[in-house]
A = this chain, B = another copy of it.
């Protein structure tokens, strides 16, 4: 048995230079000149630049950004904190943000909090430690933002992707209150008086209540359900309760489309007709809303617009060290209703 093992051939195929020093040694120039040359400085003549570049290319040299960042004080990296990427709207947001950031030369560090404030705090520290140049965050809890205050003090560029306009931070968000208001109003205008809500509270609940009030309808607490989640299964499980009410609900607004789709599935299994026996409107207008059967009416979520404006605003904050910080900017986007079959048309028989 041979104790001496030859290096495999391919180990020698590529020469690798990991540092400026290596290519300096190879070319005979100083680290200094190599650095300048590789960044295309006019201060080094073209011929030299080409010579150095070709050696760098041969070695497949890639600059060490951590060293570069240490001196430049910027990492060209943005932290993105989301509650959950499996939610269709947040998937879309992550997708748009990543592309926009990449175009601008930034990399995205993505952290997920699963709606836990503890995770959110930790994420903030992780991203600060990583020295990200800015943060985009979809907060776990719209009402509890105090842990972001410290960032504000250090003038850390931060843009929230959801929340209320009273939040003391830069913010780009859909107007959930208005969305719920519009959906509820639409159902009222169709003739419904027993409109149920599946929602964990917050802005959507407020919009729902306001619409009822504005149309002189009583707010019946027994019509308001906290389905214990935002997914298909939660809607499915919560649906039966609608028909135990006396009188039963004739319409339903849900905090997410999956909740609505789950409720509809249960109804179909019971041969309850949608929208004849239950008119349904969801929230977010996800892909599945378009091709469910019946098509699901929904409140739109403009992920592209939110992402674009948020990234744009973040870049402003990054490039304007402190001036922009003093004045926070809020953009609240008005949602539309995407009406399909599930919400139905005007009721044939007006319920008394």
Chain A residues proximal to chain B, CB less than 8 Å: 8, 10-11, 13-14, 16, 18, 60, 62-67, 69-70, 75, 77, 84-86, 91-92, 94-95, 98-99, 102, 107-112, 125-131, 149-150, 152-154, 232, 261-262, 265, 268, 287-288, 290-291, 293, 326
How far in angstroms is the closest Cβ of chain B from A2?
Answer: 16
Residue of B at shortest CB range from A8?
B326
How far in angstroms is the closest Cβ of chain B from A11?
Answer: 7
- Most chain B beta carbons < 10 A, residue from A84, A150, A291: A291
How far in angstroms is the closest Cβ of chain B from A135?
Answer: 13
In the complex where A62-B129, A109-B77 touch, is A232 in contact with B152 (Cβ < 8 A)?
Answer: no
Would you call B16 and A153 a contact (CB within 8 A)?
A: yes
List the B side residues contacting A63 at CB < 8 Å: 129
Would you call B287 and A153 a contact (CB within 8 A)?
A: no
Would you call A10 and B152 a contact (CB within 8 A)?
A: yes
Residue of B at shortest CB range from A69?
B66
Residue of B at shortest CB range from A80?
B110
How far in angstroms is the closest Cβ of chain B from A289?
Answer: 11
List the B side residues contacting A293 at CB < 8 Å: 265, 268, 293
List the B side residues contacting A131 at CB < 8 Å: 64-66
One complex includes copies of this chain to the number of 2
How far in angstroms is the closest Cβ of chain B from A175?
Answer: 24
Residue pairs across A and B with Cβ atoms less than 8 A apart, 10 shown, are A62-B125, A65-B130, A66-B130, A66-B131, A70-B70, A86-B91, A91-B91, A94-B110, A107-B126, A288-B288
Instruction: Tell me what chain A mostly uses at the interface: helix, strand, loop, or mixed.
Output: helix
Would you call B66 and A70 a contact (CB within 8 A)?
A: yes
List the B side residues contacting A126 at CB < 8 Å: 107
Q: For the complex, give the distance between the alpha carbons of A131 and B68 in Å.
A: 11
List the B side residues contacting A99 at CB < 8 Å: 112
Would you call A85 and B75 a contact (CB within 8 A)?
A: no
List the B side residues contacting A152 at CB < 8 Å: 10
Given contacts A10-B153, A85-B94, 9 further A-B contacts (CB under 8 A): A10-B149, A16-B154, A62-B128, A65-B130, A84-B95, A85-B98, A98-B112, A108-B111, A109-B109
List the B side residues contacting A127 at CB < 8 Å: 107
Residue of B at shortest CB range from A60?
B150
Would you call A107 and B98 a contact (CB within 8 A)?
A: no
Q: For the complex, give the distance between the alpha carbons of A150 and B261 in Å.
A: 48
Residue of B at shortest CB range from A108?
B110
How far in angstroms is the closest Cβ of chain B from A280?
Answer: 14
In the complex where A11-B153, A16-B153, A261-B291 touch, is A110 in contact with B98 (Cβ < 8 A)?
Answer: yes
Would you call A232 and B291 a contact (CB within 8 A)?
A: yes
List the B side residues contacting A18 at CB < 8 Å: 154
Residue of B at shortest CB range from A154?
B16
Q: For the complex, give the distance between the alpha carbons of A77 and B95 in Å.
A: 20
